[in-house]
Structure 1
Amino acid sequence: MSTIAWIGLGHMGAPMTAHLVAAGHTVRGVDVNPAAAEAAAARGVQVVGSIREALDGADACFTSLPKPEHVRLVYGGEDGVFAHATPGTLLLDTSTVDVDTSHWCHDEAAARGLSFVDAPISGGTAGAEAHTLTFMLGGRPDDVARAADLVAPMAGNVIRCGEAGAGIAAKLVNNMMLFISVMAMSEGSQLAEQLGLDAKVFWDVASVSSGSSWAMRTWYPVPGVVEKAAANNNFEPTFSVDLARKDCGLAVQAGEATGVHLPAAELALAQLDELIAEGLGGKDCTLVAKLASPDGTLRGYDPSRDAAPAASAPTSVPASA
């Protein structure tokens, strides 16, 4: 079994590390959020106070962080991963970042004689809890093969996408398609409501017909239809508006860099921005359904149950994902 350093013990990192512990690995974790660290400790993670302590003698180091700037800080900072990793330590980043940041990680690691794999994930918090995540791996073949063995306890699917940056490129395109699907599902759900269709009956129709999508089957934005959908919990986040906006923005940025026209993705991004402007960045991304509602209200969402408008996540510290 391996000793694994893990930086970022949030909504994704905590359940993922728990599966590694259950598989017999020793996991040493770091997080700036005391509550996140405490929750991970309850799952068997050895919480330590610094990246240096986590990396001491580690066979591998995973990072699970919200934004590209956090990744660059955690890896390249004075007391960061690059400062303390040794050549035998495999570095894996599960965060969703821009392609340039992923290539920066690969290049900086190589310059120091270190091995790095971009290892973004798909499947959300439900997949993290159920160890059914899809891992998209990019890097040198030998490093990717080693990474595939390490991620197995957390994964339902492990896909070797290609060379450096291929994993994150696949993730950005996949998530862009997801947010477009969320927009389609949102509009469809509200039109079905206004036409008087029973929500569950319509869902039964669409789930086996051409309107089906992963988003519709998993996140349908009407309460009482899909058990784990955020609509059943006042749209508390399974995938927050803030993080969705970040991922969708990175995909639009990639489209601009490559000359690909992405009008649907740009519209999805504009809708996420509209929710953030309303102070709803901390709610679930499927709350975009309220933008399709005739009067802006949404069955399953009661704003009075929010203690305060949900604020966007801070970007000045390496908070966990």
Structure 2
Amino acid sequence: MTTIAFIGLGNMGGGMAANLAAKGYDVRAFDLSAEALEKAKAAGCTAAASAADALAGADAVVTMLPAGQHVAGVYRDEVFGKAAAGTLLIDCSTIDVATAKALGAEAAAKGYVAVDAPVSGGIAAANAGTLTFMVGGPDDGFARAQPILQAMGKAVIHAGGSGAGQTAKICNNMLLGASMVATAEAFVLADKLGLDPQRFYDIASVSSGQCWSMTSYCPVPGVGPETPADRGYQGGFAVALMLKDLRLAAEAAGSASASTPMGARALELYEAFAAEGQGGLDFSAIIKSLR
């Protein structure tokens, strides 16, 4: 049986670790939150007393942490030199590209195989085991990580070398953030011009303006499939998380001298919305600021 050390049992990590346990993996889970550890234990994981305890005898390490500094701290302070040589390191956090590349290089130099594998799908998909993983790293690392990731998701795609997973994630979410703003604008304009939102949806969803933000995640309550808009914009993908990804995209764009005017404007709008105390709402709630 493959033993996995799972570090980071937050909103996403908890469901992911539970799915690994349900698929027959021996999951040794660790988090600073006692409540998160209890939930993991109830889901079939073994609660570890520390990161070092989780690492003991692990074939692979999965991390799901808030930011690059946290992943770097765990790798450099807890994993490197302590995990067995050849251990597979899978970081599913969304972090900056530069840190992902640096940690991948450091891991390889110390005898480990590391991949960056950020996710798309949100809390519901983490719990249901239907996430999409964008994986960066060497071919052998991807081959070893693939079955583990498939136990937690519906799609596992090799994006390229180290850091490519993070690159794919921030580019995808920059596009998502900008398209949601544009979708919300269109619905607000249609409404102000007297066009019924459902009629507009019926037309635009089969016309050239169709996009995922409209047909799968409509920001208008009662229109299209059920979305967080139908639940008062609760659940889903929080504004604060979209803001994090847009900031990472802006940082990466700056380092690459890439022009991203739509991404930059989406960042400004989400920053203003979060500053109004709306950071906990689903990101589609941005429509509220446009009405």
Please classify the TM superposition score into its range, dividing by the shorter chain length.
Answer: over 0.9
- Aligned partners of 2:129 and 2:152 also within 8 Å: yes
Does structure 1 residue 220 correspond to structure 2 residue 218? Answer: yes
Match of 2:31 in 1: 31
2:69 counterpart SS class: helix
Residue correspondence of structure 1 range 279-294 to structure 2 within 5 A: 279-293=277-291
Structure 1 match to 2:147: 149
- CA offsets per residue over residues 30-61 of structure 1, 9 Å max, x none? 12223333333332222222111111111111
- Equivalence for 2:129: 131
Aligned match of 1:301: none
Deviation at 1:5, TM superposition (A): 0.9
Equivalents in 1 of 2:34, 2:273: separation in Å? 29
Pick from 272, 275, 290: which aligns with 1:274? 272
Which structure 2 residues correspond to residues 111-130 of structure 1 after superposition, within 5 A? 111-130=109-128
d(CA) in 2 for partners of 1:201, 1:26: 51
What is the alpha-carbon distance in structure 2 between the residues aligned to residue 257 and residue 193 of structure 1?
40
- In the alignment, the residues of structure 1 paired with residue 124 and residue 191 of structure 2 have an alpha-carbon distance, to the nearest angstrom, of 27
DSSP-derived class of the 1:105 partner: helix
Of stretches 141-150 and 218-227 in structure 1, the one that deviates more from structure 2 is 218-227
Structure 2: distance between partners of 1:226 and 1:33: 38
Say which SS state the counterpart of residue 278 (structure 2) adopts.
coil
SS in 1 for 2:237: coil
Count of residues paired in the alignment: 291
- Aligned residue for 1:10? 10
**Contact 1:66–1:243 (8 Å) recurs in 2:** no
Q: Within 5 A, what are the aligned runs for 1:30-179?
A: 30-77=30-77, 80-179=78-177
Deviates more, 1:130-139 or 1:190-199: 190-199
Residue by residue, what CA displacement relative to the aligned partner does 1:69-118 show, whole Å, maximum 9, x if unpaired?
Answer: 222222223xx222532113200001111111101211221222111111
Deviations, residues 190-214 of structure 1 (Å, cap 9, x unaligned): 2233233333333233222222222
Aligned pair in 2 of structure 1 residues 38, 123: CA closer, same or farther (>3 Å)?
same
Structure 1: distance between partners of 2:129 and 2:215: 19
Classify the secondary structure of the residue corresponding to 1:274. Answer: helix
Change (3 A) 1:198 1:92: same
Q: Deviations over 1:251-280 (max 9, x none)?
A: 111111111111100011001110221122
Q: Given the superposition, is the C-alpha separation of residues 193 and 106 from structure 1 closer, same or farther in structure 2, using an over 3 Å criterion?
A: same
Deviation per CA, 1:18-37: give whole Å up to 9, x if none. 22112111111112223333
Distance across 1 between alignment mates of 2:147 and 2:213? 29
Distance 1:34 1:203 in 2: 45
Contact 1:180/1:264 (8 A) holds in 2: yes
* Equivalent position amino acid for 2:50 in 1: S
Q: Percent identity?
A: 45
| Conservation of the 8 A alpha-carbon contact between 1:237 and 1:285 | no
CA contact (8 A) 1:6 1:29 kept: yes
Match 1:211 to one of 209, 216, 229: 209
Secondary structure of 1:219's aligned partner: coil
Runs of at least 5 residues in structure 1 that lack an aligned partner in the other structure: 294-321
Q: Contact 2:67/2:94 (CA < 8 Å) preserved in 1?
A: yes
Mapped to 1, the partners of 2:199 and 2:5 lie a distance apart of 47
The residue number in structure 1 matching 2:19 is 19
1:193 aligns with 191
Q: Helix, strand or coil for the counterpart of 2:80?
A: helix
1:183, 1:242 → 2: CA distance? 15
Q: Secondary structure at the match of 1:278?
A: helix
Give unmatched runs, 5+ long, in structure 2.
Answer: none
Q: Tell me the amino acid that sits aligned with residue 228 of structure 2.
A: A
Q: Measured at CA, do residues 226 and 42 of structure 1 come closer, stay the same or move farther in structure 2, by a change above 3 Å?
A: farther
Normalising by structure 2, report the TM-score: 0.94
Q: CA RMSD in A?
A: 1.7
Amino acid at match of 1:154: M
